[in-house]
Amino acid sequence: MSKIRQEGAGAETVAIGALGWIAGDAELLSTFLGSSGLMPEDLRRRAGEPEVLAAVLDFLLLDDAWVIAFCDSAGLGYDRVRQARAALPGAAPDWG
């Protein structure tokens, strides 16, 4: 996967990169599919939809090790996944 390397990359770009990173690990992809309820063909068809991209980032944010590994591979700061998630539909308000 090519590195995203742009802190200003859009939320969708970050999420698509995260999906590619998840898909590169068969076990992690299986875990994501199981947790999201998506079938592989549904994921292929709906991968660009904001709700699916939000689900990808929600999943990634479940484990700090995943966030770190993805961000390291993409050349992103560790807070970029959280920022991208906040920009997609269904994000919880940031009261902080």
pLDDT digits (tens, 9 = 90+) for 41-84: 999 999 999 999 999 999 999 999 999 999 999 999 999 999 99
What pTM does this model have? 0.86
Classify 58 as helix, strand or coil: helix
Torsions phi, psi for 36 (to 5 deg): -90, -20
DSSP 8-state symbol, 27:
H
Which pLDDT score is estimated for 3? 56
CA distance 65 to 85: 17
Of 18, 1, 4, 3, the residue nearest 88 (C-alpha): 18
CB 80 within 8 A of CB 14: yes
